[in-house]
Chain A
């Protein structure tokens, strides 16, 4: 599928190029209001494009230059809506049979197909239940079965796991990944949860305020975030600076780095590479400065400590270190980062 989507909706100006290959899952990751759902609705033909094209398997579904527009009901695009949106007045079986019925199958045939899909998602025993009687995980599988029963070429999933509670989510996420891989078509998953995006997708596209700020594999995103939002998602410190070979001017500080060339660069420091000390450390670290503890967030065995100063950074230290260093908000602390732990790449 190749799409160039340009939609204006209220304050949002969505402008995205999206390509999805056969048997590939692309995750669209972004904060609320970034335009993720609008993008899905535009692909499904539920929101008109202001400008752009949508091409699926060589068939033009929409082209604003020619005025071509294939209505939603004739696109081979399945949608799993957020909160599933199962029809409350129909049984689970009738929900899944809805698509085949609309596509011309006789009632008995549609019901047989729906039964087969329910068996595939392991819910044969719930065929007669109403949508409201299902658990979140079950409703999600029914929504998937309902979409897949139409045999779409492209499957769109909008926050597929958001309606589930935290305890069941990991298991359902693994299960969903397996089912998505089993269905051979193209998949687009929209989510605000980086964990979900990375677990479900082969390739990620980060959307902010209607624009793609970065796309790539999970590894590319983690090692080379290109925006504060992405850096925040993957949990690293990201700065923008001016490089002069082995020095990078970042905010109020000169960082010593391995050779970085010249010009504008992005600088990534992993929180685990940020060391904290009570007094000025001696020896190897080339980058040392004095800061003040702002917050200490315990996360299991480790704590994330935000330190303000000439450069505001997040350090990740053990809970024991928090005790030994007597780290508390407002207290002074020395920050040290080895030159070799500073990654620099072109902005």
Chain B
């Protein structure tokens, strides 16, 4: 639609809307203590949180891919009763408050949880308040982004490529490895990046399930919270800025696939 034709009132409300989204970001950038940014980033507390965040978010993205891709494939390709229900379950974390997710994870994987008690008893594995626990919490919240993207990719792939591969002698796994996977890879990468970005910013489920122990579970978002609590505003701002830069980077990187052409 041409700009000339747009009613003035709509433009005004549009401006109001975008201000609402942009002002907080502007505030963050405005209050950033630019001269101290490098010093803050060199602070061992901060570097530890950064390193831990990187490990946990990449780990969570990996878990999401390993579990999410097969699940997405099944949802896209296998017609079974209850498929809609399974899809709904897989997508629940999208709308579930993260803190509820954390509580739920405790009840499942906690020391007296549904599965956790057996993990503890048989394997001696305790997930709550550990780095693997933080990875698990982030993966739980991030996986739907991967599943939703991957299922759409599998669905949109012309089935005849797979049919052609079969008539050429490829068995089920070869078809997946040599045809399905390469043809859907760009979308799967998008899904993985979205899941990673979500995991990087995860707060509620992580702090509930994995606690807030420096060098074990204190990722950047948790460190931001600690710094604010301790009245160290500059530290909180610098770490927030790091997350903002990453988010904008993801948005720019995926702009063609996620935001359309305009």
Contact = CB atoms under 8 A, between A and B. Distances in A.
Interface string A23-51: 00000000000000000010011100000
B161 A146 contact: no
Interface in A60-119: 71-75, 77-79, 81, 85, 87-89, 98-99, 102-103
A41 B183 CA distance: 22
Interface of A: 41, 44-46, 71-75, 77-79, 81, 85, 87-89, 98-99, 102-103, 146-147, 150
Given A85-B158, A85-B161, A72 B183 contact: no
Give the 10 A-B residue pairs with the shortest CB-CB distance, closest first. Answer: A102-B169, A99-B168, A72-B166, A79-B167, A102-B170, A89-B182, A103-B169, A85-B164, A85-B160, A73-B169
A73 B168 CA distance: 6
A81 B182 contact: no
A311 B160 CA distance: 47
Given A44-B163, A79-B167, 20 more contacts: A46-B163, A46-B167, A71-B171, A72-B163, A72-B166, A73-B167, A74-B169, A81-B164, A85-B160, A85-B163, A87-B164, A89-B182, A99-B168, A102-B165, A102-B168, A102-B169, A102-B171, A103-B169, A146-B168, A147-B168
Contacts of A75: 167
Which of A46, A75, A147, A150: most chain B CB closer than 10 A?
Answer: A46
A98 B168 contact: yes
Contacts of B213: none
Interface residues of B, number: 17
Given A89-B182, A98-B178, A102-B174, A150 B168 contact: yes
B169 A99 contact: yes
Interface of B: 158, 160-161, 163-171, 174, 178-179, 182-183
Contact of A81 (B160, B169, B179, B183): B160
Given A89-B182, A102-B174, A44 B167 contact: yes
